[in-house]
Structure 1
């Protein structure tokens, strides 16, 4: 039997852990753990192994929301630092690899069930050698290109969420100044994330002359959007247009003729509103290159565990080389 592998997708809020063999996630092995209940990742993995009664894994692949360098990664929205040496001791695995979470998502493209793909801008089936782009919007924001090479799939790391938020109109400049009050710098993630939607709603309240309205959580805002609340819908429209603008900038940078894929909880929540709230127009609003932008398809991925699929495939490719 092929080697047993352990997978962990560490987000800002929850960690998903699973087992895999031969590049496939084992059915029924996925478990979710709330990060707030743990001081670090090691006890999460030990608990998972103990509760499942699984044999010690030969290899471990971890995907985290934060930058990774030389086997060490620091979470962006969580006070955890991951070290491959420490995690090898905690799990007993001889091979431990650490990825940025968007890298894991990139490795999953092409292996996601069709019923988990929601087209926003339809397009032809991508060529196998075409560059793709995965954009994650959830607790945080990030994006990464996906390249097919002679040596297999290559997904470089990135920290796209911390670049400057686009500011073209007077209102967008005003929004940036509003967001700067918290950190002194208006990044993409400050607007396009779970907490970003909360900030956009506060801004919409201020613009509507009602700054005293109670601060709503993300789910409450989306409920208000569905109910037709004008201020909540304005906040959602800000969100959709800004996602389009950022995705358009990234498309011109990466040229993902194989498609743009939006993943994460906020992408799924906004999927029903992208078309009506200006996402497509904003993505294509690039002056004399507006026509050029029409070639990029956009798809929302609803499979919340797609990163686990990507990690299983990536880990198996590493084991095949050993």
Structure 2
């Protein structure tokens, strides 16, 4: 008589649990060896929730998932010493919390920008909108992920023999580039308001709104403003042109710091809304306006990431790449 059990079921390994935590919603999914399980992505509102653990526990119950092979989350806020503190939520996320929820000691907490960086190698080319073409790059070339949304930040992505490393950064708070009297006047205005003129105060969502207010005296909400820019409304178009020039100069400065021959990748809600218009509004000319280094700028391609689930993919890729 055979020693095999009477009911033999296919072995299904424990999945990875990944989550992308925004200010308003949290997306959660399951993954296997760095690949998201088809149909597993669900979105939960954060309002009224006491913690991320509450959402993850609900998700695991709804999907009848037991032990996890690992847990990785991307948080829209600073991560330090394995603890994430959300910028727009009264949540603190710790490795211990994740370990208890997933019943695993294989856990990781990433900043959302870092998660996007880990996703770059796995992105489907169909989810990229090329803004400025560049030169072909060798495999493993450094890349740069740039986020323009509620805030502004950028992080270099280094593909090393031991795996991908995405360095943390707070470069949204570096000095605003300026060329000509209009940009110098804007910098003086921002310095009077904030004590320092930084690129975030122009290139994030509130920055775009404030830029339009400064140029036109008009108060428009962000969605209305980007719609007016898309429609070619004259005052809004002037705002869009200045925004595009400063974006181009900021990207050029960051490119020369990090040398991302593997490409510059924009993410974030404001970048997504402005992406169809940035080139026509003058971003490319400003990007290439680097004096004797202008010819070098053609080596750095710029693209917009249009995959809403890239942060989840990055979390899965990060877990898969970690040593056991």
- The two structures have a TM-score, normalised by structure 1, of 0.90
Q: Which residue of 2 aligns with 1:296?
A: 300
Residue of structure 1 equivalent to 2:319: 315
Q: CA deviation at 1:143?
A: 1.0
Task: Say whether 1:2 aligns with 2:6.
Answer: no
Distance 1:184 1:37 in 2: 36
Q: In the alignment, does 2:66 pair up with 1:55?
A: yes
Q: CA RMSD, aligned part only? A: 2.0
Per the alignment, residue 16 of structure 1 pairs with 27
2:81 aligned partner: 70
Tell me how far 1:290 sits from its aligned partner. Answer: 1.1
Partners of 2:88 and 2:203 lie apart in 1 by 14
1:281 corresponds, among 282, 285, 309, to 285
In the alignment, which residue of structure 2 is the partner of 1:246?
A: 250
Give the counterpart of 2:214 among 183, 194, 203.
203
* Counterpart-to-counterpart distance in 1, 2:190 and 2:28: 34
- Is this contact kept in 2: 1:67–1:159, CA < 8 A? no
Report the CA distance shift for 1:143/1:149 in structure 2 as closer, same or farther (over 3 A).
same
User: What secondary structure, in the 3-state scheme, does the structure 1 residue paired with 2:313 have?
Assistant: helix
Q: Deviations over 1:147-192 (max 9, x none)?
A: 1211122211112222222233332232234334654333222211
Give 2:52's aligned residue: 41
Tell me how far apart the structure 1 counterparts of residues 200 and 79 of structure 2 sit (CA, whole Å): 18
C-alpha deviation, 1:13, in angstroms: 3.7
Structure 1 distance, partners of 2:299, 2:58, is: 47
Going from structure 1 to structure 2, the CA distance change for 1:11 and 1:180 (only over 3 Å counts) comes to farther
Q: Secondary structure of 2:265's partner?
A: strand
Deviations along 1:199-237, whole A, 9 cap, x unmatched? 1121122xxxxx2x3x22211111111222112112222
Which moved further from structure 2: 39-48 or 176-185? Answer: 176-185
Unaligned runs of 5+ in 1: 206-210
Matches within 5 A, 1:142-291: 142-180=153-191, 183-205=194-216, 211=217, 213=218, 215-291=219-295
Provide the secondary structure at the position in 2 that maps to 1:109.
helix
- Which has the greater radius of gyration? 2
Q: Answer with 95-104 or 248-257: which moved more.
A: 95-104
SS in 1 for 2:172: helix
Match of 2:157, SS?
Answer: strand
Q: 1:95 to 1:122 in 2, by over 3 A?
A: same
TM-score in terms of structure 2 length: 0.89
- Answer with 91-100 or 268-277: which moved more: 91-100
Q: 2:135 touches 2:300 (CA, 8 Å); kept in 1?
A: no
Q: Who is 2:111 aligned against?
A: 100
Q: Quote the residue 2:125 is aligned against.
A: 114
**Within 1, Cα distance between the matches of 2:124 and 2:135?**
17
Show CA shifts across 1:45-67 (max 9, x none). 22322333322423110112233
Work out the CA distance in 2 between the residues paired with 1:14 and 1:169.
Answer: 41
More off after superposition, 27-36 vs 73-82: 73-82
